[in-house]
Amino acid sequence: MLLIKNIGTLATPQGNTARCGAEQGRIKEYKNAAVLISGSGVITAITENGKLPENAENAEIIDACGALATPGLVDAHTHLVFGGWRAHEVPLKISGASYLDILNAGGGILNTLVNTRKASEDELFERALLFLDEQAALGITSVEIKSGYGLDKETELKQLRVIRRLNEAAAQDVVSTFLGAHAIPDEFKGNADGYIDYLIAEVLPEVAKEKLADFCDVFTESSVFNVEQSRRILLAAQKLGLPSKIHADEIDPLGGSELAGEIGAVSAEHLIATRDSGIAAMAASKTVACLLPQTSLYLGKPFARARDMISAGVPVAIATDFNPGSCPSLNIQLSMNLGYLKYRMYPGEILTAVTLNAACAIGMGEVIGSVEPGKQGDLVIWQADDIAMLAYRMGSNQVKTVIKKGKIL
Ligand code: IZC
Ligand code: ZN
């Protein structure tokens, strides 16, 4: 049992479902609060105005010394298991090559593919565990990780097994997404349809049988997969019980966000170039828009139309997109800063975007994402007094203490 007392402000969204419109910014604030977490890691009581929960005599105590506490942060979009880095691409970008130029020349994702195929399962696992440790210190208590650097059956399954092992070994809850349709490997060059057929016939059934993924994702993009190919793999995965995510409108608006609405995707991600029709489609299906502002920064692209999405009633989440190419950053606090300055979201909207809405984007809204009795005891105590400070200060890790399932990390 853990008692966190003397919390100056406990700030949290509320509920189990994604918040949209004006609800996105609605934050419950308890002043001079305490939170009691049971031995099994579940929140059992929240008190305020200096009162302490009953039956807490035997609890271990943390004194928050008047600081801000929030739910643990949820990183709903990462590619955290990979071999190698891609530092050599940055000079190419500086001299004018685009993300798709580099991919079309056999670099980018296809470069990471070579290094990921080469690495052993244990090597990938040990490295990813260090990344997750770094994320824990940054306040991230749950993480989604995608495959997609194998692009053959053996390596995709290897990556997914690593992700499952990370869920057991890391401090965080780790959700697994199958992204076999991330690029077209050389074995299927010029034959995207053939590669989608292969994934559907040979790889997806094995992924589902071994229960290696919670979601299926696809990179719907120019010179990668078109809408028809994306629809095919996502519907095949839905039939096997895997709900959909889509990398949509990152560079070109091909219709990925419209497809997300059409097939009821749980989330659509990136959405840098999304059109009005995509926003309307996502609003109608309550698809979570998972926005990745550090990728806009790193690619030198515009920032997603977060305000228009919120106005239209699309629930917005914010994540890192940690990957070796377009976002080599593990720090979701920087995504929050960019959400403030570049998306023009308000601190309450940003908090919801990295907690409850992110939890809903990975199918965990009933378990994590808010501090409420019955939810898991995942909290961050900050070196800050209020949530505006989290959005405002930049470049420092503002975390003081991280608590996962009632245990201090
Ligand atoms: O490795 O380039 N956009 N996939 C789609 C990525 C970025 C990750 C990468
Ligand atoms: Zn991604």
Q: What is the pLDDT of residues 284-301, one digit of tens each?
A: 999 999 999 999 999 999
Distance in Å, CA 406 to ligand 2 centroid: 30
Ligand nearest to the CA of 145: 2
Q: Judging by beta carbons within 10 Å of its beta carbon (0-12, 13-18, 19+), is residue 92 exposed, middle or buried?
A: middle
State residue 228's pLDDT score: 98
Strands (DSSP E) contained in 182-214 are none
How many Å lie between the centroid of ligand 2 and the Cα of residue 346?
25
Q: What is the mean pLDDT of the chain?
A: 98
Burial class (CB in 10 A: 0-12, 13-18, 19+), 70: buried
Q: How far is it, in rounded angstroms, from Cα 292 to Cα 338?
A: 9
pLDDT at 234: 98
Q: What is the DSSP letter of 22?
A: G
CA-proximal residue: ligand 1, atom 3 (nearest)? 326
What pLDDT was estimated at residue 398?
A: 98
> Which pairs count as long-range contacts for 123-129, CB under 8 Å and 24+ apart, including other chains?
123/83, 124/81, 124/82, 124/83, 124/158, 124/159, 124/162, 125/81, 125/162, 125/165, 125/166, 125/169, 128/80, 128/81, 128/162, 128/166, 129/166, 129/169, 129/170
3-class SS at 308?
A: helix
Judged by its nearest atom, the ligand closest to the C-alpha of residue 108 is 1
Q: What is the pLDDT of residue 37?
A: 98
The pairing of strands 399-404 and 379-382 is antiparallel
Q: What is the pLDDT of residues 18-45, one digit of tens each?
A: 999 999 999 999 999 999 999 999 999 9
Give the mean model confidence (pLDDT) for residues 208-222.
98
pTM: 0.98
The pocket around ligand 1, CB under 6 angstroms, is made up of 79, 108-109, 112, 219, 247, 250, 323-326
CB 320, CB 74: distance < 8 Å? no
pLDDT in tens, 354-409: 999 999 999 999 999 999 999 999 999 999 999 999 999 999 999 999 999 999 99
**Beta-bridge partners for 181:** 218
Task: Name the residue among 379, 362, 384, 406 with its Cα closest to residue 77.
Answer: 362
243-272 mean pLDDT: 98
Residue pair 118/108 in contact (Cβ under 8 Å)? The answer is: no
Cβ burial 44-53 (10 Å sphere, 16+ → b, else e): bbbbeeeeeb
Interhelix angle 153-169/109-118, rounded to 10 degrees, is: 80
State percent of the chain over pLDDT 70. Answer: 100
Residue 283 has what pLDDT? 98
Instruction: Give the count of alpha carbons within 13 A of 165, CB side only.
Output: 16
Q: Residue of the nearest CA to atom 5 in ligand 1?
A: 219
In contact, 108 and 325? CB cutoff 8 Å:
yes
Ligand 1 pocket mutation, candidates 109, 111, 182, criterion most atoms within 8 A of CB: 109
Average pLDDT on 305-319 reads 98
Q: Confidence class of residue 133 from pLDDT cuts 50, 70 and 90?
A: very high
d(CA 156, ligand 1 centre) in Å: 15
Q: Which of 78, 79, 147, 247 to mutate to test the pocket of ligand 1 (most atoms within 8 A of CB)?
A: 79
d(CA 58, ligand 2 centre) in Å: 45
Name the token pair of 304.
């997603």
Interval between CA 31 and ligand 1 midpoint (Å): 42
Ligand 1 nearest-atom number relative to CA 250: 3
Pocket test for ligand 1, best of 182, 269, 294 (most atoms within 8 A of CB): 182
Distance between CA atoms of 1 and 406, rounded to whole angstroms?
Answer: 7
Alpha-carbon distance of 83 to 85, in angstroms, equals 7
